[in-house]
A and B are shown apart, each in its own frame.
Chain A
């Protein structure tokens, strides 16, 4: 029942996986940058090690770095794992960046079954393929949906199965690319 400080956790992980780099966000939140190849090992260590014991996957989500003022700027899709230890009450944030062109990250659903649904959602909305997931398919959008909606360069559909997306006279205001990715009248 001893919560480790983020630096101690980072040190423990780096002892086994030296490529893992601890970062702090602009507002002070600690996270560990993990390469996709290292993820299965790091995740297994975090879960099985007695002092770390992260038995709870709080959340597995993604976010798109395209256009984010990061240093250096990047086009990657980041997959974020938020882990928590019920026994020790400490949390760990992992970030795995996958390049947009080859968006593949190993799955952690073997370690935490909660990841089964989380990874399906990230696949659906960001297009990240999780190697090793037993049934990777869309979950939120219909099976025949085109595109990955939460990406920053997503173009809104003008129609689905023959029904126009907009009502007559409605201007296209879809998404953060307001006005730029679509013309008035709903053509994408």
Chain B
């Protein structure tokens, strides 16, 4: 819903929301000019977390860049690792002797990527609910996220920035109890999901706060470069896992939810509620994909010495003198496509590593959709677009 700002421009109140603010999902600053409660103009101010990760990509070796990809989006670090590794492997693929990623490693990659998608979305919807004013769902989301953190900690030793998916495979094999732990977690998550929905999704107040707020039409979403759940929330049926598959996603028959004005009479396709519901539906889909991958997982006998390909000597040797050229690869991270444009000049350091992230273009549309909404809706909009500032600023 939009409300006309009636005060002439000279008398607007200028508010600086951020960079320290409980609801800006990081150090994002939005300069809001408001006529009382109605936002007339909004100008985001970025760069408070610009850590020059793209410059670092030119300074370090190919395999050394993987921990930095964790920091590009730490909420879903496995997906971030995976995006870079798929791109680096595409560069290596020009060499006829390049080793292929073992099938077991591909399965593990999908498993950890989908688990991380679940934990990322639980944090995102929990944070959105907390911003809107409901503090409890955040704790439920974090509780689920902690269980995924436990699995990942037993797997690779880290809770947040994993450095696990490597060029050529993954770093370690699954620990023996991993499939059983994952299954137990997924069963428990399905039960929790019902409770979570009763708590927040069907809550009238939450729905009224998010319905018809900042709707983005499908055409606008594509033109403004929205990706991921933001794009799907506007009704565009596009998911890289199904439409431009990488790894073994082509064998997994990914089902893609889209926004359909889930808020009912009060809702509009592409509003905040739609984006929120699309994330929840993606969690359900990820549960299904994890179970499928666990069934597909081959026994750990693919290659006796290095079943998962992460420390292959031939990959390391190849990375010292990779083929020259450029690639552009995009993968589906929880916040949308993470596109890597990498230029290689044949040496052990990349020449240019470019990370294109979903939150960057999502924050680009803020000044357009936040015109005419109430100040209280600003946090709902930021939460529904699920921007994380390291993705914007890199």
Contacts and interface: CB of A to CB of B under 8 A. Distances in A.
Interface in B79-119: 91, 94
Contacts, number: 106
B327 A61 contact: no
A64 B350 CA distance: 12
B325 A27 contact: yes
Contact of A28 (B59, B325, B344, B361): B325
A2 interface: no
B279 interface: no
Interface stretch (B12-20, B155-163, B254-262, B352-360): B352-360
A61 B341 contact: yes
B55 to A, nearest CB: 6
B135 interface: no
Given A80-B341, A112-B225, A59 B327 contact: no
Contacts of A29: 325-328
B47 A140 contact: yes
Interface string A64-77: 10001100000000
A117 B363 contact: yes
B50 A82 contact: no
A150 interface: yes
B46 interface: yes
A175 interface: yes
Interface string A12-56: 000000000000011111010000000000000000000000011
Given A138-B47, A140-B47, A27 B339 contact: no
Given A89-B243, A176-B58, A56 B327 contact: no
A155 interface: no
A68 B46 contact: no
Contact of B324 (A27, A64, A116): A27
Contacts of B345: 68-69
B271 interface: no
A150 B355 CA distance: 13
Interface residues of A, number: 40
B323 interface: yes
B281 interface: no
A188 interface: no
Contacts of B47: 138-142
A155 to B, nearest CB: 13
Given A27-B323, A27-B324, A114 B354 contact: no
A176 B349 contact: yes
A79 to B, nearest CB: 12
Interface string A126-169: 00000000000011111000000110000000000000000000
A86 B222 contact: yes
B142 interface: no
Contacts of A178: 59
Contacts of B225: 56-58, 112-114, 118
Interface string B341-377: 1011110010110101000110111001000000000
A156 B94 CA distance: 35
Q: What are the nearest 3 A-B pairs in CB distance?
A: A114-B225, A27-B325, A27-B94
Interface of A: 25-29, 31, 55-59, 61, 63-64, 68-69, 80, 82, 86, 89, 91, 93, 112-114, 116-118, 121, 125, 138-142, 149-150, 175-176, 178
